[in-house]
Structure 1
C-alpha cells in the first residue's frame, strides 16, 4: 500500500463534510464529492463557519484553520475526485443500491492501490465489495457524529478484507486523532450502535408506554448514567431520518420485525420532522 496523501470523501452531508474536515486538519489533501452542487456549497459554508468559530474560541489558530480549509476541494464529479485518491471514504445515504453504484464507479475510477471504505453504520462492506472489483481493499470505516468531535472510529473487516487494508485503515484513523476499534466480523449495528440501540429502544418503550416524558428520560440518562446527552437528544442530533433508515436497513438484513423502526419514530419520520436539521423532532429548535 502506498502512503496516503489524498483522500476522497463521497457525500457532502453532515458526516461526509466533517470527515473531510477532520482529514484536512490532519494534513491530508481532501476532496469532498457530491452530486448536488447546493450540498457542496452548504458544506463549504458550514465548515468555514465551524473553523471561524473554533478560532474565535481559541481552539485552533487562524493559520491552522486557513491551511486546513485550503487543503479542501469540492466537486460534483466522482471520477475527478477519485482519479488520484489513495483512500476513499463513502458517506452517502444508507441505501444499498446507491452504495453499490458508488463502489462500482469507484472501482473503475480510483487508482489500483486505493482503499475503498464505507462509513455505513449498518451495512457491512461485504455488500459492496464485489461491486468495487477489489474486495480485498474494501472495509467499513465508521465515524460517529459529530465527526469533528467524536474519537471512536469502527473499522470492520469482511471475509476477504486483506490485513494490509485493515492495518492501513487503523493507521489512518490514528493519524486523524481518532481511537479505532477493530471489529473482526460483520454484525448489524457493529458495536457502539448495538449498545446505544439497546438504550434507545428501551427509551422509546418507556416513552410510548407513558412511563416518563422524553425530557425526563433524557435527564435520567445524563444525571444517572453520566451520558453527555439523552437518547432522544442524540436521535435529534444524528437525524431522525438517519435513525429511521438505519432501522429499516437492519430489518432488511435480519428480517426480524423487532428491528423495524419504532412506530413513534416512524410517525416523526413520515411528518418530515428529522430533529435539529429540520427544527423539530423529539424537541423543537430555534432556527438560529
Structure 2
C-alpha cells in the first residue's frame, strides 16, 4: 500500500472516531433504514414472535447487525442493547439502544409508517435519539443537549396545551382489551383527547409528537428501544415525558406540557 494511501486512510479513521454522537446517530438510522428498505424491495421471509402482528424479518436482523458493526468501529467502548438480541457490555456508562425496524408489521405490509431508531444514554442523564423514515426521507435527531431537528432544521418548540384540544397517539394490542387492568386506563385516557391515532410505530409517533402533530403519546410496558429514541426527541423539543404505574403496568407518556399531566391524571383514574 502506498504511504500516501495509508495516510489518507489514517486521517479518515481519525475523522470517523471524532464523529459527534449527533452525526453518528443520524448515520446509524439512515444506513439501517436504507438497508431494510432495499431488503424489503427484494422480498422478505416473515417470522412471527408472540402473535400474528408481532413479526420479525431478516431485514430487522441485518439492519441491527449493520448498526452493531458501525458502533464497534466508531464507539468500541460503548454498550449496545438491540431489539433483535444484540447485547454488548460497555466499558463505562454509555449505552446505545437499537430498534432496527420499528413498526415491523407496517413494514412487511407495505406501509410507509415505520422507521429505524437508536438512542444513546450516558452519565448525568445524557440522552440522545435519532429516528429515520426511509420512505419519506425524514431524519429526526435530538435530546438532552441537542434541540430536536428534522432534516437538520430545528423543530418548533412545544408549547403548553390541553389533551382535550389535541390528538393522542397510542397503541394497545387487541387481545389486551379483554384485560380491565389495561383496557380501563386506556379507555380513560383515550376519551380525554380530541381524537386518537393508532398507527403502529411508537418511534414515528413520538417524532410526530416532537414536531407538534400529536399532543401526547402513551403506551404501556415499553422496552427501552420503543421509548428512549422518541423520548429524546420529545424532550429535545421542549416536551415532557413521564412514566406512571397503573394496575401493575407501567405507562409511558410524552408530549406537550399540560397535556402530559392531563394524560397521567386520566391513566391513574
TM-score (norm: length of structure 1): 0.28
Q: Identify, as 1 or 2, the structure richer in helix.
A: 1
TM-score (norm: length of structure 2): 0.29
Q: Identify, as 1 or 2, the structure richer in strand.
A: 2
